Structure formats: C-alpha cells, structure tokens
Structure 1
Amino acid sequence: MLYGICNLSIVPVRAEESDKSEMISQILFGEHFQIIEKTKNWSKIRISFDNFEGYIDNKQYLEITEDFYNSIENSTLTFSGEILDFVTSENNDLTTIAIGSQLPKFSIGNLRLGSYNYKYENTVFDKKLSKPEILKIAFTYLNSPYLWGGKTPFGIDCSGFTQMVYKLSGYKLPRDAKEQAKQGEVLSFIEESEPGDLAFFDNEEGEIIHVGIVLNDYNIIHAHGKVRIDTLDHSGIFNADLQKHTHKLRVIKKMI
C-alpha cells in the first residue's frame, strides 16, 4: 500500500481518471490518504478522515511513508482556523491554505509533511466544541458560493458544508448527505431539535439529497446557491426570496 498527503491548497477529487471528469470532492492542504491504485497520471485514493474514494492527479500530492501516515493517524488532528491564510516552508515559500486545512504533526507553530517542514502562526482548531461554538463556525461560511464537490468558503456543497463545520468542531461526518443521515439520534419533531442538529431532506424517490444545520427560531443554515439562512418548518425549507418550499424534510438528527 502507498500513502500520500496533499501539499497544495485545494486539489480536486474526480470520479474518473480525467481532468474532464466530475469533481466529487476536494482534498485540502495537509490531508492524508491511502493510494489504492496508481497509474501513469492518476491515483485512486481513500481519504483517511472519511474513507471517501476518488481520483487525483499524480502531480498534485506528495508520497509519504507508511510510518509517517500512521504517525498522523495516531496524533491529534489540528486544522487551520482562518478563512484564508498561508503556511511558510523552510525556504520561505508561501502556500495559501483555506480554513479547515490539516496541519500534520503540529506543535508550537510548526508542522510537517513527510520530510518537509512548514510554519503556521494563526488560529487552529484541535478540540471538541460545544453546539453554540459549532454555530459560530457555520456562520463563517455564510454566503459562500455553492460548488458541487466543494469544501471551502470559495465553493462548497451542502454535505461538504456540514462535514467541514463538524470537522472543525472536532467531530467526524461522512462526505455525502445520505451517509451522514445514517449517523446520530432521530428526533421525532422539530420542537425537539437544538441549534447544531442536522436536518436531512429527500426527493420524490425518498433518497436523501440535502442537509443543513438547525439554528434558533426555526431557521436553518445550508448550502443552496450559496450558504444561506432560511426558515425550517414541518414541511421542509421555505425560501423567503422565492416564496416557496425548496426542500422536503425527511428527518432531523442529533449528532452530539
């Protein structure tokens, strides 16, 4: 088995071995993964954090040893906390990073990617947070444009949004909404929910296709066109701009 780590800001994860293939997710700086298959130009990877699989360009990652991979697995995960920031290499080269980038082997401003050392000097997230603190992180992404497969404030999808908010808060969620819906405790009524719980929505076939984070006063923050706040009722999400319901409520779940 081979192992890798992302040494660039944001790298697209694609459904197939082609730059023209659909972007199904992204890996951010510092994220580590297993390399399941490697061809001349592409690698099929399994991301450590959520076991999500897809293809990335061989030019867009750094191979690491199994020992280094395992050392990250056995350490506390630390993530960058600024919407946009940078890390500095030993040669004083700057690499721009987005919020939620991983800082492997982080200690007193220092981090390491394989044999390469970097410095990062600003806010980090490395602890489990309370629900009120989770909401503060969620608001950080407000007005971020919707992007299928995206995981940053510069483009994010609905499940990427909930996953990243919970990730920065110290909790693991799967990548896709339908998989996230398999976790947590089912709540029978909206009235039982608390800010920070997740609401899931389905289509006419009953498939979970959307997710958002419950707020106070029957509101929800979710990625639809952009990360926005709408009204949540027993039917689903009511969009005041469109004056109609846009999503049909399936279930609300308490994750923590």
Structure 2
Amino acid sequence: MKYKMLVIISLMILSTLYFGSDQKMESTKIGEVVENVKKTVELLRKEMKIDPRETVFVLNVKEESGKVVLEGKISDINVKEKILNEIQTRFLNVEIKVEQLPSKKLGEKICAVVAVPVLNLGEAPWKDQGKHVVTQARMGELLKLFDEKEGWYLVQMEDNYLGWVYGERIWICDEKELNKFLSNKFALITAKMTPAFASLDGVVAFDKQLVQGTLLPILEHDERWSKLLVPGGREIYVKSQDIKVFPTRDAAFSEKRDAQYIIEIAKQYLGLPYLWGGTTAYGFDCSGFTQFCFKMAGYFLRRDADMQFEQGIPIMDRKELKPGDLVFFQTYKPGPSHVGIYIGDMKYIHSGSNGVAINSFDPSAPDYSQSLDLRYIGARRILP
C-alpha cells in the first residue's frame, strides 16, 4: 500500500514538472514537443505520398499560451483524419486547429464551372500569367472550390490539379445547380478550334475561340448550327460540323480509343508553339499535350510528367516500345521532366521548346535529337 502511494505521488510530481500545475507544458519541454510533432507530420506526409499539386496540405506547429498547437488546412478528409489520429495518439496535449476544406465561408457554393474559352490557373491570387500559370482549363470543365481570397478561388480540377482562378471567369454554384446543368445532352468540340457566336447574325461571343475537347450542354441542333449553354445561363451558337453530340457528359470520353487515334489527335498540332502550363489548342506544354491526347481517347493521365511516369506499365527496353507508349526524359531537373508519345519507327511526338514536333531515337534519321536521346530515362504503357 505504501509502495502504491509512493508511485502515485511520484507520477503526480512528474506530471506537474512536465505539464505544470494547469496541465501546460514547461517552456523547456515545449520546443522539444514542437519539433517532434513537426517530424511526425513530415513523416506522415511522405508515407501518404501527399502531393501539394493535388492536395492542400498546409500544417504549422507552434507554441501558443504554453501549449503546442497544430494548425492549418487540408483538402482531403481521409488525409486529415489519419494525420489527426496519429498526432492525438502520439501526443496527448496537442491542440488541433486544422480546417477541413472547402472553407466554411464558401457556404453551399462549393462547385464551379469554367465560363471562358480557356482559363489560366495560377500559383496564387493575381498570379496567373506567364511562368505563374500552373495549368489551364477549357470552358465547361468542372471545379471544386476550396478557398477564397480577394475574389480569387483556390480550385481543384477534374484531374485533381490545384490552382487559383479569378471568380469572374467561372460560374459558381451549389450541387443542386450543378446537377441541373449536367442533366442535359452534351456537345464535344471536335474541331481544333471553332468560333462561338452570340447570335446567328455573326456577332462573336468571346475574344477566343472554343477549343477541341470543350464540353457544353446542347439545347438545339440542326445540320448547320447548334445552340449551346454557357455556364451561368448564356446561350451561344457553333457550327454543327465542329461538334459531336453525346447523351450525357460522362459519355463523351467513355469510349477507349486505340494508339492510332491518339497519334492522329497529336499530329493535328504539329508546329503549334510551346506554351508554359498550356493544355489547349492555343498551346501545350509537354505533359499538357500528352494528357490532352489521351483524354480525347478516353484515358486519364495526371497533369505533370513526373506524375505520368508513375502511371501505367514500365517498359524497360526501348526495343519493346509500341505506338501509344509514353516516353520520358530528364531535362531541366532530376527525374522525369519531359514526356512525349511514341508513334512507331523509332519516332515520338512531343511539345518541346520548338513546339509540337516529331523526333527520332535513330541517329541516322534527319529528325534525330541527340540531346533528348541522351536524356531518355524510360517509358510507360497506358494502353491495354
């Protein structure tokens, strides 16, 4: 009995020394715990392979009023639950102030649809031009809203990529409004570009043409003209020869096409200048080009070259390449940073510094690129 009392008293003394009489940690211990929590968060981030290009994961650990506080924002609820569970299990007195996105200030309006022909997604508010562009979206593409700042919205695209867009360029809606928008038949723009008209009198509706791959609800359709619905309610007219009609939006890219179809899509753009962050007929970067060509054929690729390198089946021997395989190169940074599409006969098509072009792995070919040949690091097969 005396022994048990001594143990209890000893634990009470240790608890007071470590946490203080009001359960707050002594300042000598706070720094150590803060560092341990930081290390744990970083280990979990690596373990879950969280990519900041696809998942908002902003966590800070600090001391506040004698306590260790974990604060920040996370967009994936499963990631948040795992992180918080691990932290609360390992560290009993860490205060959690982590916001689950979408931000509550957005209310029910957490959906959006691109309302301009081509939309730049930027790295931050007011930074969506030039090298600040992270990717692009076409009119009609769906967005998830996560946060808002000064009229700019942090959004996630259908390929999971994140970026900031200006609110006046998107139609913001709730799930009910979005579902109504999606309940129509849809038209897919199949021409490389096509003008959109505000009326049949020939008044152009936008400063840019609609680009191939654009999907919009179709309201009326005849042999010459089709009336389409712009996100937000506006109506436009396009030439019927430049579209293909589908019963639903999901049906547009549901059919899996072959390698030859992908290569034909790609060859349309030979000579098109390179565009940083580009994903449309106005200009592509390397991975934006491969992502687009495969999407038109019914296949989903992630946005960047290093992401695409993680997809499909590795092809170890270049002699085993087949048309439609993705070929990767290490260029301006370690790892896969450039990608193209193998088209057969030792040739590949890609969007590089000279625009969309065909080059060869064969040193005797006139279109041989020695610099890319030396930087080749492997291939991936996406097609079955």
Q: Does the alignment reach a TM-score above 0.5?
A: yes
Structure 2 contact 359–368 (Cα < 8 Å) conserved: no
Structure 1 contact 239–246 (Cα < 8 Å) conserved: no
| Partner Cα separation in structure 2 for residue 31 and residue 71 of structure 1 | 15
Aligned to 1:41: 151
Pair 204,146 (structure 1): closer, same or farther in 2 beyond 3 Å: closer
| Partner Cα separation in structure 1 for residue 185 and residue 346 of structure 2 | 35
Aligned to 1:254: 381
| Partner Cα separation in structure 2 for residue 250 and residue 76 of structure 1 | 43
Aligned to 2:233: 115
Normalising by structure 1, report the TM-score.
Answer: 0.85
1:12 to 120, 141, 156: 120
Question: Which deviates further from its counterpart, 65-74 or 169-178?
Answer: 65-74
Deviation sequence 1:55-105 (CA, Å, 0-9, x none): 111221111331343567799975311111033457976342112222246
2:356 to 227, 245, 249: 227
Aligned to 2:213: 100
Question: Which deviates further from its counterpart, 104-113 or 161-170?
Answer: 104-113
Aligned to 1:213: 341
Q: For residue 8 of structure 1, what is the amino acid of its counterpart?
A: V
Pair 135,243 (structure 1): closer, same or farther in 2 beyond 3 Å: closer
| Partner Cα separation in structure 2 for residue 243 and residue 158 of structure 1 | 16
Return the offset for 1:10: 1.1
Stretches of structure 2 lacking an aligned partner (at least 5 in a row): 1-108, 245-251
Percent identity over paired residues: 25
Aligned to 2:329: 201
| Partner Cα separation in structure 1 for residue 189 and residue 364 of structure 2 | 34
Q: For residue 244 of structure 1, what is the amino acid of its counterpart?
A: Q
If each structure's strand is expressed as a fraction of its own residues, which one has the higher value?
1
Alignment root-mean-square deviation, CA: 3.0
Q: For residue 94 of structure 1, what is the amino acid of its counterpart?
A: A
SS of match in other structure, 1:56? strand
Pair 104,176 (structure 1): closer, same or farther in 2 beyond 3 Å: farther
Are positions 1:188 and 2:316 aligned together? Answer: yes
SS of match in other structure, 1:103? strand
Task: Say which structure, 1 or 2, has more relative contact order (CA 8 Å, 6+ apart).
Answer: 1
1:63 to 140, 157, 172: 172
Return the offset for 1:238: 9.8
| Partner Cα separation in structure 1 for residue 297 and residue 147 of structure 2 | 32
Aligned to 1:81: 190
- State the aligned residue count: 252
Aligned to 2:110: 2
Pair 73,219 (structure 1): closer, same or farther in 2 beyond 3 Å: farther
Normalising by structure 2, report the TM-score.
Answer: 0.58
Pair 106,54 (structure 1): closer, same or farther in 2 beyond 3 Å: farther
| Partner Cα separation in structure 2 for residue 216 and residue 242 of structure 1 | 14
| Partner Cα separation in structure 1 for residue 157 and residue 317 of structure 2 | 35
Query: Which has the greater radius of gyration?
Result: 2
